[in-house]
């Protein structure tokens, strides 16, 4: 069975961080994702997709994103239901986030926080505090389902030269014989 979702969109509101009764962190947010086609008036429709992330990934999303942040996520669709206060069954559909990537510079997110009068999306926000020396803007945050954090630096985080860049001018001539080619 295959259940994979890949989305790029903007947060419609600040992430809502909470913890379960057992102390497991979770964050809920909604992504606005434009459709690929336009209507007769040339306008694009937008889907508003509910997302949820757990454990370390939840804390990271809460700390580093705000309303309007442009993010890419991968995950899976999960459906569920519950009884509301009136005794009616409410059906839910969420994207459970497995990986995410911030797709804009940290300075843009910081400006959004400043415009909204916020100090950060999460209490004790060490990531949003420039005095802490942390700069996570433009990084790729990949998280396994078990909540392990693997932070990979993005080439857009201010580096001017990338290691092993095949497009960078290099005076070393690499000799490739026909035996090295797979075709």
The token duo for 158 is 């201010």
Residue 168 has pLDDT above 70, yes or no: no
Residue 119 domain boundaries: 5-180
CB neighbourhood size of 95 (10 A): 21
Instruction: CATH number of the domain at 148, please.
Output: 2.40.50.140
Query: What phi, psi does 115 have (nearest 5°)?
Result: -65, -35
What's the confidence (pLDDT) of residue 171? Answer: 54
At 155, is the secondary structure helix, strand, or coil? coil
Closest CA to 94 of 27, 23, 13, 18: 27
pLDDT tens string 98-152: 999 999 888 888 888 888 775 444 333 333 333 333 333 333 444 443 443 334 4
Report the C-alpha gap between 76 and 97 in whole angstroms. Answer: 7
pTM, 2 dp: 0.61
What's the confidence (pLDDT) of residue 106? Answer: 82
Closest CA to 34 of 49, 45, 18, 23: 45
pLDDT tens string 49-93: 999 999 999 999 999 999 999 999 999 999 999 999 999 999 999
Which pairing describes strands 25-38 and 44-54: parallel, antiparallel, or unpaired? antiparallel
The percent of residues in the chain predicted with pLDDT above 70, rounded, is: 64
| Count, residues in the chain | 183
Report the C-alpha gap between 136 and 12 in whole angstroms. Answer: 22
CB 75 within 8 A of CB 63: no
How many structural domains does the chain have?
1
CB 15 within 8 A of CB 75: no
Q: To which residue do tokens 């999303």 refer?
A: 61
pLDDT tens string 142-153: 444 344 333 443
């Amino acid at each position: 069975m295959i259940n994979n979702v890949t989305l790029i969109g903007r947060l419609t509101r600040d992430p809502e961080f909470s913890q379960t009764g057992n102390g497991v962190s979770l964050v809920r947010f909604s992504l606005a994702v434009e459709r690929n086609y336009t209507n007769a008036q040339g306008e694009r429709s937008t889907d508003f997709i509910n997302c949820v992330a757990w454990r370390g990934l939840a804390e990271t999303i809460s700390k580093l994103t705000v309303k309007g942040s442009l993010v890419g996520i991968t995950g899976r669709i999960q459906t569920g239901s519950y009884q509301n206060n009136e005794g009616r069954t409410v059906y839910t559909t969420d994207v459970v986030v497995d990986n995410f990537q911030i797709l804009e510079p940290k300075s843009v997110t910081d400006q959004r926080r400043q415009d909204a009068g916020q100090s950060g999306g999460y209490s004790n926000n060490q990531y949003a505090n420039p005095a802490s020396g942390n700069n996570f803007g433009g990084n790729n945050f990949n998280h396994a389902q078990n909540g392990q954090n693997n932070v990979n630096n993005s080439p857009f985080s201010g580096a001017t030269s990338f290691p092993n860049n095949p497009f960078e001018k290099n005076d070393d001539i690499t000799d490739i014989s026909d035996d090295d080619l797979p075709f």
